[in-house]
Amino acid sequence: MKKLHTLLAALAVTAAANAQIGAPYIHDPSTIAECEGKYYTFGTGGGGLISEDGWTWNSGAERPGGGAAPDIIKIGDRYLCIYGATGGGLGGGHAGRILTMWNKTLDPKSPDFKWSEAVEVCASDGMEDQDAIDPGILLDPTTGRLWVSYGTYFGTIRLIELDPKTGFRVKGNKEKDIAIDCEASDLIYRDGWYYLLGTHGTCCDGTNSTYNIVVGRSRSVEGPYLDNVGRDMYHGGGRMVIAAGDRKTGAGHFGRTIIDEGVEVMSFHWEADFDLSGRSTLAIRPLLWKNGWPYGGDQFKGGTFEIESERRGYALELAVDFVRMQQERQGWFNRNQMEQPVKPVANQTLEDVIGTWPEGDIPARIGDYMFRPHQRWTISPVEGKGAYLGNTYFKIVIEGTDRALTATADKEVTTVPAYTGADEQLWRIEQLTDGTFRIMPKVIPGQEGINKRYCLYSAGDSTPTLAEYDFNSDNSKWNFRNH
């Protein structure tokens, strides 16, 4: 199991455009936990990562006990950590123990930072067809009961129940086998369904690891967990959630974080990031849902797009005069047009129209998309200006120019002639669980603190503004079309 390292400056530059930055090296990360404004995740071998913004990660999280594959959850005003002390073939055997411990805080610099004595909640003897390692924990929001799934390829995935007040095993609780052919499992609940996420494939072989994350669901936390074609995970079923991609392989150890209604992310590790020496690294991706099934979205990286309103499908654009394109027309009634050569019609260019635009601020509006320069936006990540869980802020400018989309003090949107890096010109872009996006200014001038309420909003078919985010309204949602 790998120790955490300091990322070389040259690698940080490479990673900044498409991954968590800093030193995001970890194996078997726990679900991300928030404590006093910082984010924490813990990994195999002890320790873990800390981030102040959810984007730049560095070592510094502390937990005793070593072992493997911890998970963590906040219950009331305390944090419960669960981890495997041995097992998983570590040291050559499958005799394992899973333990729990509590802390008031995750901040190792806090005077309240003190882990309680670890308590064993289950074990495997190394001879049975089971392996007590890789625990994942769920506090059932409907009943308040606390459940743990654990196990590896060596045998079954099992389910046990803990007391949420003590972290001890519920007296008389009997473990139940619920899956096979996976490991590093986790449990989540959504809309009346319990989901069992399992890591399938081969582990711990760097660029040759085939880890991927699969899922089944059940109306009962005790199963049976069936996949999208009705296969029971106890008989090897499982629908794909995320696999290798983007020069990264070995997706494992799922965790879910709910940021807002309709805004969720999944955390996991890549067994090997090809651009970071094939190291095991933390990953954070949008968590999307389709027909009741979770799947991993792609991290938004920017590009040049039409920004399309989900409300009606119209495009965000500059409020400038429409400049007609000159075209040699061939009427449909011309019987000889089949004899004429076909000539592509060139797109209207920025040089064709920019001289007709005002020089100062130009308001934004929404209109029919026509491939025109005033409707083409280049979106680029901005480093060094803060971040949010899983991504950095972006600037949004008209393609080929420095004209930047900007929030105003009266909660409107306009464009200014030049991007300056001001906070009101920085935009938080998050993919929602239905696949659309919300676009939020980092700040609204005159309002204190980072904006977490107001988003780009289609108040009418042609009127963009800033209004409170509402996942249940298409007015809050946008799409990026790469035409």
Express each pLDDT in 169-187 by its tens digit: 999 999 999 999 999 999 9
For residue 6, pLDDT over 50 is answered with: no
Q: Is the dihedral of CA 142, 145, 151, 156 positive or negative?
A: negative
Do residues 152 and 218 both lie within one domain? yes
Closest to 455 (Cα-Cα) out of 437, 431, 433, 439: 439
Query: Final residue of a domain: which of 261, 296, 331?
Result: 296
58-62, 156-160, 300-304, 329-333: the lowest-pLDDT one: 329-333
Structure confidence at residue 338 as a pLDDT band (50, 70, 90): low
Residue where a domain terminates, one of 296, 330, 360: 296
Model confidence at 4, pLDDT cuts 50, 70, 90, reads very low
Q: Do residues 127 and 252 both lie within one domain?
A: yes
Name every residue whose Cβ is closer than 8 Å to that of residue 159 and which is 6 or more positions away in sequence: 147, 148, 149, 175, 176, 177, 178, 221, 222, 223
> What is the pLDDT, as a whole number, of residue 326?
84
Residues 403 and 421 in one domain: yes
pLDDT at 14 over 60: no
Q: Are strands 56-61 and 21-22 parallel, antiparallel or unpaired?
A: parallel
Please report whether residue 16 resides in a domain. no
Tokens 């603190």, residue located: 449
The answer as to whether 409 is a domain residue is yes
Residue 456 in 3-state DSSP? strand
Q: Of 183, 271, 310, 424, which is the active-site residue?
A: 183
B/e letters for 211-222, b = 16+ CB within 10 Å, e = fewer, are: bbbbbbbbeebe
Top mean-pLDDT range of 92-96, 97-101, 334-338 = 97-101
Looking at residues 134-160, what average pLDDT do you find? 97
pLDDT tier at 472 (50, 70, 90 boundaries)? very high
Residues 102 and 122 in one domain: yes
Q: What pLDDT score does 20 carry?
A: 66
Is residue 137's pLDDT more than 80? yes
Active site residue 53: no
400: domain CATH number is 2.80.10.50
**Cα-based torsion angle of the residue sequence 292, 298, 304, 308 in order, rounded to the nearest 10 degrees:** 10
| Residue 310 sits in the same domain as residue 260 | no
Quick check: 350 pLDDT over 70? yes
Choose the final residue of a domain: 296, 331, 360: 296
Q: Is 28 a catalytic residue?
A: yes
Whether residues 249 and 211 fall in one domain: yes
Check pLDDT > 70 for residue 35: yes
For residue 343, being part of any structural domain is answered with no
Tell me the percentage of the chain whose pLDDT exceeds 90.
88
* Domain presence at residue 308: yes
Residues 140 and 179 in one domain: yes
Q: Residue 409 sits in which domain range? A: 303-321+348-482
Its pTM stands at 0.92
Q: Give a yes or no: residue 367 inside a domain.
A: yes
User: Would you say 79 and 43 are in contact if contact means Cβ atoms under 8 Å apart?
Assistant: no
Is the pLDDT score of 329 beyond 70?
A: no
The DSSP output letter for 155 is S
For the chain, the domain total comes to 2
pLDDT tens digit string along 367-400?
999 999 999 999 999 999 999 999 999 999 999 9
Q: Are residues 288 and 316 in the same domain?
A: no
**Who's near 82: CB < 8 A, 6+ residues apart?**
70, 71, 72, 98, 99, 100, 121, 135, 137, 148, 167
Average pLDDT over all residues of the chain: 93
State the average pLDDT over residues 304-319. Answer: 98
Would you call 156 exposed, middle or buried from its count of C-beta atoms within 10 A (0-12, 13-18, 19+)? buried
Report if residue 8 sits inside a domain.
Answer: no
Same domain, 253 and 375: no
146/281 same-domain check: yes
Q: Give the dihedral of Cα atoms 84, 245, 310, 193; nearest 10 deg.
A: -30
Instruction: Look at residue 15 and tell me whether its pLDDT is greater than 50.
Output: no
Residue 274 lies in a domain: yes
Q: Are residues 147 and 128 in the same domain?
A: yes
d(CA 258, CA 294): 13
The answer to whether position 10 is within a domain reads no
Bridge partners (DSSP) of residue 225 are none
Name every residue whose Cβ is closer than 8 Å to that of residue 288 and which is 6 or more positions away in sequence. Answer: 294, 295, 296, 297, 431, 432, 433, 434, 435
Closest CA to 40 of 22, 28, 52: 52
Point out the catalytic residue in the list 28, 227, 232, 271: 28
- On whether both 26 and 139 belong to a single domain, the answer is yes
pLDDT per position as a tens digit, 397-439: 999 999 999 999 999 999 999 999 999 999 999 999 999 999 9
The CATH number of the domain holding residue 119 is 2.115.10.20
**Hey, is 219 helix, strand or coil?**
coil
